[in-house]
Structure formats: structure tokens, C-alpha cells
Amino acid sequence: MSFRLHQPRILVVDDERSSLHLMCMVLRHEGHLVEAASDGASALEAAAANPPDLVLMDIVMPGMNGFETLERLRNIEGCRSVPVIFLTGMEDLESKLRGFALGAVDYVVKPFHLEEVRARVRIHLQLALAHRELAEEQGRRLRLLGEAQREMFIRPVEIPEAKFSVHYAPAQEAGGDLYDVLPLGPGIHGYLVADVSGHDVGTSLVATAAKAMLHQYAGPVFSPEETMRLVNRALHGWLPPGRFLTASFVRLNRNTGTVRAVSAAHPAPILIEAATDKIRHLETEGDVLGAFAQARFGSVDRSVRKGDRVVIFTDGLFEGVASDDAGSKAALEKAISENSRAPLDVLPQRISEAMGSGTRPDDVVVLAFEV
């Protein structure tokens, strides 16, 4: 197996022919791939066609000067973080500050010394490579975390008697929204959907911890309200300040034909009555999880019949739908009504698509189960 080393691409921009020729010759002798441009417009065209790893650019040029060229360079895909070193005969502080404000990383003052140029080019290429490798490594870790998180989510095929399906769409590789389905006894199941505050890697860790605590405290020994209080108590002693969860926990007892929904400041689950296609919001009040030591959680009970369905979701479903709660609620009711008779295994995705299938800035979970 052979490996090919990355040969840095450097774009040199200077309207002085002799200076441009000398700079290109020196850099090529160092082993770099070098492209020359004599003005800002040509530089932008070259960068758009093949983004460089580094730009050496004169400030004073006819037409578009170096500052203007740098501003436009940052709008080119693949060039937003390319390091730019200015070549200039200007040593005044104002020019340097303006260049740094626009994103330049360094200056070489004319007439330049070749060893200085070599050294500055070398160090900024090394820094750019280090930043790129760090970003790639962070991305790799985030992908692994996301894969591990998704492996922890239970799938409908694993507990078919729970009669559920789910649509899970994280905004990042690892999401902060979570769901879980727990067998709580013969004919009894618990369904959880929750949303962790924040959008960083830490949200996925909180989500994993919340699932573990739910498994510890859910069961026939505790009511759904007691389960939420115990989870809240554990999270409150563990979460850092500013972190919290919203959640809906619904327990279905198929033996008695009842559901009990508990809310932790989360959008209300929706009951779809099979006989009438009526939509009922299982509204109840509750505090967020993890923010208060003594949180309160309300609950609501409903009788259900065979074929009835319950839909639980996170507020990412409303992103970009409407500017107020009434509009969002109406859009959701319409999406559910239009798809209420869809097969259960596609119902969550159909609802999500009806609410807008474009890229959302927030995670989305839609879980549906059938009595």
C-alpha cells in the first residue's frame, strides 16, 4: 500500500511582476504547489476553482485591493477559513488591525526576507493542518457517539407487543432528543420522549443518563408521576447549572384500556380516536426535569380503545412552521388528521414530512403507539 503526501496549494497574489515571480519560485523550491494571480479578480476566480491551503496577498493593487479581495474570498465555499498572509509595504497599525479584523493571520513587510517568508508560510500551514485534523477528529468522535447513541435506542422489532414506531432525526451527529419504550408488566408499556437543553456533545451524554435513570425508576412499583419525581431528583444532583430536560411520559395499560400522560414542561401528546378520527391533546402542566429539587408533575388519564393511537413528539417538529403557538398547533393537527389512517410503521415520518421535510436546526423525535 502506498500513501500520497498532501502537497500544500498556495495562491500568491501581487500586481508587481518581479515580486510575484520571486515569491512563486521560492515556494515551488520548497515543494509547494503554487498558483499566481496578478489582481484580486483573478485570485478569486482561482480560489473558487481550486481552494488553496494558504494565500499570500498584496494589499495595494489596482482595482480591487487586498482587503476587498479577502472580504470576497470569505464568501467562497471552501475558502472561509483559508489562512491569508498579507504582503505589504504598509507598516501602520491601522492597516494591520483592519487586516486582522477581516481574518488575515499574518503580515510580511516588503521588501521581504526569503527566510522569513519560508518560516511564516511553514508555521501557518502547520497550524491550518492541525486545525483541520482537530476538526476531523472531533467529527469522527461525534459520529461514533451518534452511532453508539442510536444503538441504544430500542427498535419496534425488539418489542412488537408495544406496537410503536418512531421517526428520529438529530440535527447533529449525536442528538439531544431521546425516546424510550419500556415493558412495565404484561400488557403495560411506558413511552418516553424528551428533549435536552443545548445543542452540543454534552446533550447526548445527558440523554443517555436520563434513559438509564428512567429504566431504574419506571415500573409497577412507581406511578408515572413518582417516576418523574425520582428521575428529576437524580438529575438535579448531577446536571450542571443551566441544563434541564423537558419530557412526556405516557403509560399505557392495555388490560384496563387506560393511558396516563405525565408532562415535564413538554408539548402535550396527542390521542387519535380510531372510531371518530378525533384528535385530543393530553394537556397537563409540569416543571422541567433537573432544574428544581422539588419539581411538580401533573398527569391526565384517558380511556382508550383498540386501534386508538397516541403521538408523542419534541418541539423541533415546529421549527419554521409558524410564528405562534396557535399556528403550530393548527399545523400539527392538520398533519396528524391527514395521516391518521396511515400504517403505524410510517405514521411518525409522515407527520414529520407534513410539518416540513427540510433541514431543521433542532432535533426531531416523533413516536406513535397503538392500543
Q: What is the mean pLDDT of each run of 10 residues along the chain (371 residues)?
A: 64 91 89 91 93 91 90 88 85 78 85 85 84 60 50 82 91 68 92 79 66 80 87 81 88 96 94 94 92 89 96 86 74 92 94 74 86 96
Residues 315-347 as b or e (16 or more Cβ within 10 Å = b): ebbbbebeeeeeebbebbeebbeebbeeeeeeb
Assess whether 175 and 108 both reside in one domain.
no
Report if residue 147 sits inside a domain. Answer: no
What is the DSSP pairing of strand 299-303 with strand 258-264? Answer: antiparallel
> Residue 44: which CATH number?
3.40.50.2300
Residue 95, CA distances (Å) to 91, 102, 109, 192 in order: 7, 11, 12, 58
The per-residue pLDDT for 2 is: 40
pLDDT for the residue numbered 72: 92
Same domain, 180 and 199: yes
User: Are 264 and 205 in a shared domain?
Assistant: yes
What pLDDT sits at residue 286? 93
Q: Which of 232, 240, 348, 329 is nearest to 280 (CA)?
A: 329
Query: Which one of 142, 175, 193 terminates a domain?
Result: 142
Whether residues 92 and 161 fall in one domain: no
Distances (CA, A) of 68 to 40, 45, 53, 108, 149: 8, 14, 20, 18, 45
Residue-level pLDDT at 8:
86
Does one domain contain both 235 and 178? Answer: yes
The verdict on residue 148 lying in a domain is no
258 shares its domain with 314 = yes
Domain that holds residue 186: 153-370
> Is 330 found in the same domain as 301?
yes
Nearest CA to 249 among 290, 337, 327, 310? 310
Same domain, 138 and 229: no
| pLDDT for position 172 | 57
Are 162 and 46 in the same domain? no
- Say how many domains are in the chain: 2
Give a yes or no: residue 90 inside a domain.
yes
Select from 142, 162, 188 the last residue of a domain.
142
1 belongs to a structural domain: no
Of 96, 115, 142, the one marking the end of a domain is 142
Residue 279 lies in a domain: yes
User: Same structural domain for residues 90 and 178?
Assistant: no
Does residue 205 sit in the same domain as residue 186? yes
For residue 3, being part of any structural domain is answered with no
Q: Residue 188: which CATH number?
A: 3.60.40.10
Query: Both 166 and 262 in a single domain?
Result: yes
Specify the pLDDT at position 5: 52
What's the rounded Cα separation, in Å, for the pair 34 and 368?
58
Residue 350 counted as domain residue: yes
Residue 2 belongs to a domain = no
pLDDT at residue 206, rounded to an integer: 72
CB-count burial class (<10 Å; 0-12, 13-18, 19+) for 192? buried
